[in-house]
Structure 1
Amino acid sequence: MTTYTPTLDHQLLERLRGSVRGHIVEPGDPDYDEARKVYNAMHDRRPAIIVRAVDAGDVIATVDFARDQGLPLAVRGGSHSVPGYGTCDGGVVLDLGLMHGVRVDPETRTAWVEGGATWADVNHATYAFGLATTGGVVSTTGVGGLTTGGGMGYLARRCGLACDNLVSVDLVTADGSFVTCTSEQHSDLMWAVRGGGGNFGVVTSFAYRLHPIADILGGPVFFPLDGDVIRRYRELVAEADDNLGALLVVGLGPPVPFLPERWHGRPLCGVVTCWTGPEDEDDRIQDRLAALGPVLGRHVERMPYPVINTLFDDLVPPGLYHYWKGTFTQGLSDGAVEACVEYGATTPSIQSVTVAFPIDGACHRVGPEETAFSYRDADYSFALSGTLTTRADCEAQKDWVRGFHQALEPHSMEGGYVNFIDGDDQNLVRANYRANYTRLTDLKRHYDPGNLFRLNHNIAP
């Protein structure tokens, strides 16, 4: 494979070296191949340089270098971007992974989180104070990409999306400016980064509102892959109060000890529960889950909230081959249920898991124009994840995801969640933002007219 290698301006590169306290990695360096890896092995790219930043000064210097050199700029947090936007060929990778500090103020229930932190970093720091905020469902996911795209997780029904809990961000814009954004200052940028992705700059620090959540009742219950089970799940979510987070999963039985071996690798569905309500109601929740259908296996118990955020970590380690699509639905129609049963039966691997995230409750109490994330009338967000352990059969894996997405289309809303769609869905960007798209393009034109931040689901200026 031939990769374009740009000629770097020696003077600009030396200026960058003198400005950066972190580590600059170039082709030929012993750690180059390791430094260029990203979570999704589908993307094997060779950047011209990788800057491992340690502070906002490094970020500013790197943004200035990429802009002045005219190079593509990929911003990497947890490196989980399924389309591979955390890397590039022949450009600059700004790796924030060393910027992962978290500071918690328990009195104001606020956490200040550096831009390269993961949800494992956040959950560890906040749990010590009996606090939490909405994060992802894999602990190695970076806070930056998840939050700026919207941010779904177990706590969304009670606490809202991750972006709903943002109270401020520190942002480096395309001209190298460092700005602090809140509802009072640079409020236009604050609005844009709450769902607008990485289009408007590099967030070096997030401040999150925290909630009094420590131990929860959580874990998975598995059932046969049956439409009646999914319809009963639909009723459960519609009736439950916001303290119940309950993700629907459809896939193949994982090799876990609480699931009989005869079900390993066979199609099934399940509910991953996160109950943050009173402990004396745990038995009622357990009974309600058991009533969904024949229980094949379960592991639901009291646990620290950070633990539930790690349950899928071993199933999807770095280095697998991912291809995703996503869609929003209002309710869970019988047609959507039938599509889940049909395509769930042909799931391509144990690592391929379809997840439906309920995003009603607190998510519905934010207006569609209050943040850039506009799907406040959606009840579910589907992640259709085709994942393999080798590159073989990747085209068949993509066909399965596309077919599933097409089967859901008549039962879905236009557009999809930016964190669940792949790089071949750039044509959906306008639909992803609906009525907010025009305002976002105006802001993009003002803050990034040259489209420096284009390695994303791009809002073109």
Structure 2
Amino acid sequence: MFEGQVIGPDDAGYDAARTVFYGGIDRHPAAIVRAANAADVSRVVLLARETGQELAIRSGGHSVAGHSVSEGGIVLDLSTMKALEIDVEHRTAWAETGLTAGEYATAAGAHGLATGFGDSGLVGIGGITLGGGMGYLVRKYGLTIDDLLAAELVTANGQLLHVDADTYPDLFWAIRGGGGNFGVVTRFKYRLHEVDSVIGGMLILPATPDVLRSFVAEAEAAPEELSTMVNVMTAPPLPFIPAEYHGQLITMGMMCYAGEIDAGERAIAPFRALATPLADMLRPMPYPEIFPPDDGNFHPVLVDRSMFLDAIDDEAVDVIFKYLKASTAQTAAAHIRVLGGAMARVPVDATAFPHRKRHVLVNVAALYEDPGEKEAHAAWVADFAADLRQDSTGVYVNFLGDEGEARVHEAYPGPTWDRLAAIKARYDPTNVFRLNHNIPPARDT
């Protein structure tokens, strides 16, 4: 029936096939289907629709909420669908959904081209694209969906559709930020940009309130070619971090300047001047090298909470250091991204990503090993996030865990939710695609 591979509970490789990126997720699907092509995808979708079984869609398996695997249902695994067609002349690429960001970046980088995804090469391009896509090129070229030109997807009735701005424009609008609610994308067509060498890498500084305040201020003032992420976090025992800082708080900046190298050196100089670096790994490099080395054995167990803030003001800095110093987690972290630039210039209603005008994204997290500690760390994260929120609402859906319906509404507030629910009713009225940050189909009243 299927051209791809069907893996059941009694088959060799079942445990490996059901393992996802995040640890602590231990679900046992009835079957895992590694699709070979769009026809396989259609067959699986129709099977789930006819039987009512829960359907999990897996690209890279990085769903924070664990949506990449089902308990007792069917997993549609796209990871072997990796065809990539790059049109260098027209700077476009058709990419199957099983590709990872690193695989795509390496292939495109061979031509001096890139599409922006996230900040990990291991992430599948499927989930990150459908949720928006926020990474190392976000200020220069916008979100991943801003470079999405078309897609092919299988709808709940098993039909394969080509969608773009002119063909099924409502569905094309919805999949640019609305997640996996509307179908299974088998191929994406992306715009490519000339991105050959960048200045990027890691800059590790001491963790002080002044360093954090100044880092954020410099990131806000930086040219749009520079996208940054900064983590105030417990230092891991890595060889390039001085041993006396292991287990202590550090400021870890990740930076990418997509432009002329000399201008990039000038742009990052103020960050290097904030304090004597503990490690300075910033250098010119081919864009694909910006992604950290893959570690297939790393399966972090964590609790986290994400939000948008208007600013990292003095009060926010105080809250960050107060909570990080009090944490008993193996690793405690506050992750901060200064936004703006090209992302903010796209009209808010142009796509289903409604947070264009937000200034800062923050994620607070506790990584731990002992399952018995989960409740304590979850309480720490909840209190930390509540004290940090600044009466602000909104969450980036790709950073959203299993946090309830109200938080999904925060990802898609107001008219965005209503429009998505109406499109959902049109293309998936029985909510076949429900194992996600779900938008139920609108009901006539």
Q: Given the two structures, how large is their TM-score scaled by the length of structure 2?
A: 0.95
Structure 2 gap segments, 5+ residues each: none
1:422 maps onto 2:401 in alignment: yes
| Residues matched between the structures, number | 440
- Alignment partner, residue 405 of structure 1: 385
Cα distance in 2 for residues equivalent to 1:173 and 1:207: 18
Cα distance in 2 for residues equivalent to 1:28 and 1:384: 39
> Which sits farther off after the overlay, 376-385 or 61-70?
376-385
- Alignment partner, residue 343 of structure 1: 323
Q: Is the 8 Å Cα contact of residues 386 and 397 (structure 1) preserved in structure 2?
A: yes
Q: Is the 8 Å Cα contact of residues 223 and 267 (structure 2) preserved in structure 1?
A: no
> Which sits farther off after the overlay, 281-290 or 47-56?
281-290
- Aligned partner of 1:332 among 307, 312, 318: 312
In the TM superposition, residue 29 of structure 1 has moved relative to its aligned partner by 1.4
Task: Look up the SS of the partner of 2:371 in the other structure.
Answer: coil
Q: Is the 8 Å Cα contact of residues 355 and 394 (structure 2) preserved in structure 1?
A: no
Pick closer, same or farther for the CA change 1:256–1:285 going to 2, 3 Å: farther
- Alignment partner, residue 70 of structure 1: 52
Pick closer, same or farther for the CA change 1:103–1:350 going to 2, 3 Å: farther
The 5-angstrom pairing of residues 179-258 of structure 1 reads 179-258=161-240
Task: Look up the SS of the partner of 1:373 in the other structure.
Answer: coil
The 5-angstrom pairing of residues 56-455 of structure 1 reads 56-310=38-292, 313-314=294-295, 317-349=297-329, 352-410=332-390, 413-434=392-413, 435-455=415-435
In the TM superposition, residue 431 of structure 1 has moved relative to its aligned partner by 2.1
Cα distance in 1 for residues equivalent to 2:330 and 2:228: 21
In the TM superposition, residue 299 of structure 1 has moved relative to its aligned partner by 1.2
Q: Give the residue type in structure 1 aligned to 2:312.
A: L
Task: Look up the SS of the partner of 1:423 in the other structure.
Answer: coil
Q: Give the residue type in structure 2 aligned to 1:211.
A: H
Q: Is the 8 Å Cα contact of residues 258 and 299 (structure 1) preserved in structure 2?
A: no
In the TM superposition, residue 282 of structure 1 has moved relative to its aligned partner by 4.0
- Alignment partner, residue 31 of structure 1: 13
Cα distance in 1 for residues equivalent to 2:427 and 2:19: 30
Q: Is the 8 Å Cα contact of residues 231 and 336 (structure 2) preserved in structure 1?
A: yes
> Which sits farther off after the overlay, 316-325 or 162-171?
316-325
Cα distance in 2 for residues equivalent to 1:101 and 1:387: 35
Report sequence identity in percent: 38
Pick closer, same or farther for the CA change 1:68–1:53 going to 2, 3 Å: same
Cα distance in 2 for residues equivalent to 1:324 and 1:365: 29
- Alignment partner, residue 437 of structure 2: 457
- CA deviations over 1:123-157 (Å, ceiling 9, x no partner): 11110010111111111111111111111101100
Cα distance in 1 for residues equivalent to 2:52 and 2:257: 49
In the TM superposition, residue 427 of structure 1 has moved relative to its aligned partner by 1.8
Q: Is the 8 Å Cα contact of residues 198 and 285 (structure 2) preserved in structure 1?
A: yes
Cα distance in 2 for residues equivalent to 1:33 and 1:381: 35
Cα distance in 1 for residues equivalent to 2:36 and 2:326: 45
Cα distance in 1 for residues equivalent to 2:367 and 2:124: 19
Pick closer, same or farther for the CA change 1:59–1:429 going to 2, 3 Å: same
Cα distance in 2 for residues equivalent to 1:118 and 1:22: 19
Cα distance in 2 for residues equivalent to 1:253 and 1:390: 19
Q: Is the 8 Å Cα contact of residues 97 and 117 (structure 1) preserved in structure 2?
A: yes
Pick closer, same or farther for the CA change 1:194–1:310 going to 2, 3 Å: same
Q: Is the 8 Å Cα contact of residues 354 and 384 (structure 1) preserved in structure 2?
A: yes
Q: What value does the CA root-mean-square deviation take over the aligned residues? A: 1.7
Q: Give the residue type in structure 1 aligned to 2:383.
A: G
In the TM superposition, residue 238 of structure 1 has moved relative to its aligned partner by 2.1
In the TM superposition, residue 350 of structure 1 has moved relative to its aligned partner by 5.8
Structure 1 gap segments, 5+ residues each: 1-17
In the TM superposition, residue 390 of structure 1 has moved relative to its aligned partner by 4.8
